[in-house]
Structure 1
Amino acid sequence: MLSGFTMTSWRMRQYLLIITVWLGGIGTCMLFFQYNWSGCSFQTVPSDLAPVFRQSTTTSDTSPSTTPADSHPEKPILLVWVWPETDSFKFDPVECKRRHDIDGCFLTDDRDLYNRSDAVLFYHKGIKKDLSNLPQTPRPPFQRWIWFNLESPTNTRPKAGLENLFNLTLTYRRDSDISVRYEMTVRKRPFENIVIPKKDKLVCWFVSNTSPGTGAWARIQYYEELKKHIQVNIFGNMAGQRLKDEDYYPTMSSCKFYLSFENSIHKDYITEKFNGPITAGTVPVVLGPPRENYEQFAPGNSFIHVNDFPNASLLAQHLLQLDKDNEAYSHYFDWRKHISVVPHYSIWNEEFILPICQACDYISRHKEYKQVHDLFKWYSS
C-alpha cells in the first residue's frame, strides 16, 4: 500500500508540474505579445504598468556590478542606436551637464542595454531604407522610440515602415514632442550698455551647399540678384575654402549683416544660420518662413526679413543706408538689453549634442506613453 501511494503521489506531482509549466508558458506568451511587432505598429501599454514590465524583462546575463548603467540606477537609460551622420561622431555624456546643465539620464550607445533602455534614439538619415538596421527583437513594452531629424521636409526622404513606429519626435518643429532650440531667455537685470563688435565688412555669407537638387536654389537666386547691388563677402566651400571652426564667430562678428538664408522654406525651419549671427553680434538678413514665424522665436527688431522689401535692390538700398546711420543700425541690438541667447557650436556635427541632451532631459521628466501616427504626413504639413 505504501509503495502504491508513493507512485501515485509521484505521478500526481508530475502532472501538476506539466500543467504549471503549460500555464506559465501561456502567461509568458501573453506578456510577450502585449505589443505587435510587425515592423510598423504596436499597441499602447499603460504607463502605470511600465515599471512592472520593465522589471520582468530586464536581462539577467549581465552582472549588476559590471554594468555601467548600474552606477546610475535612479536615472532612465537613453540608448543612441545610431549616432548622427557618422559613428565617428560621439561625445562624452558629461557634455550635457557641462554645456546645457542636463544630467537627467544615463546616455549610452551600448546595444547590450537595449532591453533595459527606457528610450531609444534613432537618427532618421542613419536608418536604412529596408529598416534592416533597426532592432530585430521585440520592443520592451515600457520602452519609447524617438525619431530624431533636424533636416527640413525638402531634405528628408520618407522610408516605408516608419510611419507608425515611433513614440516621440525630436525635430526643429515647435509641435514636436522634443523641440530643438537654442535658448533665448529674459535677463533678470537689463544691460545698460550693449557693446557692438567692431565691423570691417558690410554683408557676409557662409555657404557650402549650392546644389539645386536640395531645395537650396532659391537662396542662390536671391544672392545672385542681391550681389548686383551690394558687395557680399563669401566664405565656405562656395568661396573655395571651408572656414576654420575657430574662425567662425570672429569672422561673423566682423560683419554688419549676415545672410541667414535657409536651404528650404518650411514652418519653424529656423536653424543655426539664424542663431549664429544673433549670438555673434551681427544682424541677420533672413530668407525662410514668414516674419511672423521668426517672431515666435526671436524679437522682431533683431533681424531683417527679405520679405520686408519688394525686391533685392530695395533690400540692398536699406542695408547701405544703415551702414551710414550708426544710430539706426544700433537699434537692431536693443533687444540684447533684456534678452540673452545661447550660441550654437560651430564645429561640424556638434549641433547634434544639444538635441540628444534635450532628449535625455525629456525622458527624465516625462513618463507618459505616446504614439506617433502618419509621421511623414505630419512632418510635411
Structure 2
Amino acid sequence: MSRDPDGVVFPDRREPPLYRNQSCLNNVAIIRQSIADSRRHCDATPKSAWACTVHCTLHNRDTRNMTLQGNGENTRNCAVGGGPIPYFRKLLLCLVTWLAIATIGMYVKLKSTARYPGTCAGVIGTGDMSGPCLSKAEKHILEKKLAHAENHRKIIMAWDGEKYKATYIRPAAAVLNRECGSCVVTTNNTLMRSQDIASVVINYQSVAKRHLPSKKFRKPTQVYVLQVGEPPPLMKKLGRFNSYKSINRMQFNATMMVWRDSSIYGPFGSAWESRQNGRRLLRQRFGDDIKNVLTSKTKLAIAIVSNCKVGGAKIRLALVNMLLDRGLRLDTYGRCFNNELPRSDHKLHSSDIIFPYKFYLSFENTFHCKDYITEKFFSNALSNFAVPVVWGAAREDYEAVAPPNSFIHVDDFKSAEDLIGHLNYLDRNDEAYLQYFRWIHMPRHHFPHHNRKYGYCQLCRILHGINVDDAYSPSFNASHHIPLLSEKVYPRTIPKFQELVDSIEPEGCFWSNDEFRNASTDSIASRAYEVT
C-alpha cells in the first residue's frame, strides 16, 4: 500500500499495464484531485471514510470501466460527480441518448431535404435561376429513377399532334432522351384506347374547335394537360374561346404554358439551348472565334412580320413603321410588308436569312403580358448571332430567361431617335457590339434555369415521380405539397381557367387597340400608335 502526497491510499503504485493507458491515467488524476479537495473540507469526518481505492478493470479490449470502492464505517461513493449511479453507467446512458437524438435528427433532415432541397445560389421560392441542388443521396435516387424509367417507358399522347407541326406543340423526337425519362410520344389519336397511355396533352386549338377525346376512354391515372402557346388575352380576343366552359369540363390536371410558374413550363425556347445552337454554328463557320462573325454581318436590322391585322399586331406594325420613317436601315419580310418569304425558306430560324444582320426586331403582338416571349427571341435572334431588339414583355421577364446582357429593350429609350442612334453606334463600334455576345463562351451555370427541364421533358419526369423542376417556379415555396422525388405520380389540379388567367396575368397586360390607347404609358410604342 502507498500513500499520495494528500494522504489518499492506493493499493499499488507499480502502475500495471492498464494504468499506462492515457485515458485511465487522466481519470485517476481527476479522482485523486476530487478526493483531496473533499478531504480538506471534511476534517471532522473519520479519515477511513475518505480513503478510497481506485481499481481500473479492463473488461475487454475496447471497453474500460472504473470501479470505486470505499471502505470504513461511513463508506461513500467517491466517483466524480457523486450519486448512486456509477460513472460508467452515466456515460453509457449519455451515449445512448446522444445516438438516439442524432439518428432522429438525421432522419428528419433527410426527409426534409428530399422534399425541399436547397438551391445553388439563393433560397427556393425566389425564382432563383439555379434551381435545386440535390444532395448525393438525392442524386442517387434521381439516377435510380431515370434508370428504372428506361425499362418502364411511359407513353404520352399529343392529341391532334399531326395537325400542329410546331415543336412547342409536339416534341421533335418520338422518344425522349434518358434525362427526360425516356417516354414515348405519339401523335396517333387512334391509340387513345390503349391502357398504356400515361398522359394526354391537348392543345388549346383543339379545345377551341371542340375536337376532344371521348371521356369514356379516360382513366383515373392519366394526367390531362392543357397546352397553351398564346397569352390568354390574345386567345379571348381572337375568338378562339367563346367561354372557358369547354376547358373546365375537361378537368385538366396541369397546364403547359409560357408562364414560368405554370405547372409545366412550356416556353418557346431557352437561353442554354440558344447558346448550344449558336456555339455549334460558330464552330462550323468561324472556328469558335466570335470576332470572325463580324465578317458576315453586312446588314443592320431585319424584321419578319406576318400578323398585322388584329390587336397588338397592329401596334407592333406601327412601331416597325415608325422606326422605318425615322431612318432605321431595316429590311422587312412577311405578309405585312408584301414580302413573304418563299415557302422553302419559311423556317424562320434559317441562318441564311437572318445571319447577315446585326440586329433582329423581336416584337411580340402583346404588351407587357407576363413571360410571353416567342421563338423570335430564342430561335430567330440568339441562335443566329443577331442581337434581339425586343418589345412586348417587360424587361424583368426577359432578364429572367435571357443570357446575361444579350438584348436591347425598346422601353429603355425615350424616343425612336435614341434607339436608332444606339443601334448605329453599335454598328460603328465592333467592341461594343461584341459585348452582346459574351454569353456565347459563358459556362452553363451563368444561364437562367440552365438545368430546368420543360415541356414534354418535364411532363415525362413527372410521370416517373421526378418533380425537381417544380423548384424553378417563382411561386415555389417551402409549403409546396408535392415531394420533389416521389414514389408515385402526385395529382395536380388547376382552378377554373378564368380564375387561373386572372391570377397570373398582370394588370398592365394589353392586347387590344382600345386597351393600349387608354393605357397611360409614355413609350415609343404608344407614340407610334398615336401617329397611325
Give me the identity figure in percent.
28
In the TM superposition, what is the alpha-carbon distance from 1:166 to its structure 2 partner? Answer: 0.7
Unaligned ranges ≥5, structure 2: 1-149, 446-453, 468-488, 506-532
Aligned to 2:318: 221
CA separation of 1:221 and 1:206: change in aligned 2, threshold 3 A? same
Q: Give the alignment partner of residue 403 of structure 2, picking from 299, 304, 308.
A: 299
CA separation of 1:225 and 1:328: change in aligned 2, threshold 3 A? same
Give me the whole-angstrom Cα distance separating, in 1, the residues matched to 2:171 and 2:314. 37
Show CA shifts across 1:133-172 (max 9, x none).
Answer: 3323163211110001111223224431313611011111
CA separation of 1:91 and 1:179: change in aligned 2, threshold 3 A? closer
Which SS does the other structure have where 2:246 is aligned?
Answer: coil
| 1:102-113 correspondence runs (5 A) | 102=180, 104-108=182-186, 109=188, 110-113=190-193
In the TM superposition, what is the alpha-carbon distance from 1:263 to its structure 2 partner? Answer: 1.3
Aligned to 2:154: 76
Give me the whole-angstrom Cα distance separating, in 1, the residues matched to 2:164 and 2:271. 30
CA separation of 1:376 and 1:242: change in aligned 2, threshold 3 A? farther
Aligned to 1:144: 223
CA separation of 1:113 and 1:102: change in aligned 2, threshold 3 A? farther
Give me the whole-angstrom Cα distance separating, in 2, the residues matched to 1:301 and 1:88. 28
Aligned to 2:40: none
Give me the whole-angstrom Cα distance separating, in 1, the residues matched to 2:404 and 2:201. 35
In the TM superposition, what is the alpha-carbon distance from 1:92 to its structure 2 partner? Answer: 8.9
| 1:287-366 correspondence runs (5 A) | 287-338=391-442, 355-364=455-464, 365-366=466-467
Q: Is the 8 A contact 2:171 2:456 kept in 1?
A: no
Which SS does the other structure have where 2:321 is aligned?
Answer: helix
CA separation of 1:134 and 1:304: change in aligned 2, threshold 3 A? same
| 1:199-214 correspondence runs (5 A) | 199-211=297-309, 213-214=310-311
CA separation of 1:242 and 1:361: change in aligned 2, threshold 3 A? farther
Aligned to 1:241: 340
Q: Give the alignment partner of residue 373 of structure 1, picking from 481, 495, 514.
A: 495
CA separation of 1:293 and 1:88: change in aligned 2, threshold 3 A? closer
Q: Is the 8 A contact 1:77 1:116 kept in 2?
A: yes
- AA at the equivalent of 2:199: A
CA separation of 1:300 and 1:112: change in aligned 2, threshold 3 A? closer
Give me the whole-angstrom Cα distance separating, in 1, the residues matched to 2:444 and 2:352. 19
Q: Give the alignment partner of residue 184 of structure 1, picking from 268, 271, 283.
A: 271
Give me the whole-angstrom Cα distance separating, in 2, the residues matched to 1:160 and 1:153. 14
Structure of greater Rg: 2
Greater RCO structure (CA 8 Å; 6+ sep): 1
Residue 169 (1) aligns with residue 248 (2):
no
- AA at the equivalent of 1:234: T
Q: TM-score, normalised by structure 2?
A: 0.50
Give me the whole-angstrom Cα distance separating, in 1, the residues matched to 2:362 and 2:247. 32
In the TM superposition, what is the alpha-carbon distance from 1:203 to its structure 2 partner? Answer: 0.9
Q: TM-score, normalised by structure 1?
A: 0.68
Aligned to 1:263: 365
Which SS does the other structure have where 2:205 is aligned?
Answer: helix
Aligned to 1:273: 376
- AA at the equivalent of 1:330: L
Q: Could you say what the CA RMSD is over the residues aligned between the two structures, in angstroms?
A: 3.4
Q: Is the 8 A contact 1:82 1:121 kept in 2?
A: no
Give me the whole-angstrom Cα distance separating, in 1, the residues matched to 2:214 and 2:193. 12
Q: Is the 8 A contact 1:260 1:284 kept in 2?
A: yes
Give the length in aligned residue pairs: 294
In the TM superposition, what is the alpha-carbon distance from 1:287 to its structure 2 partner? Answer: 0.3
Give me the whole-angstrom Cα distance separating, in 2, the residues matched to 1:93 and 1:337. 27
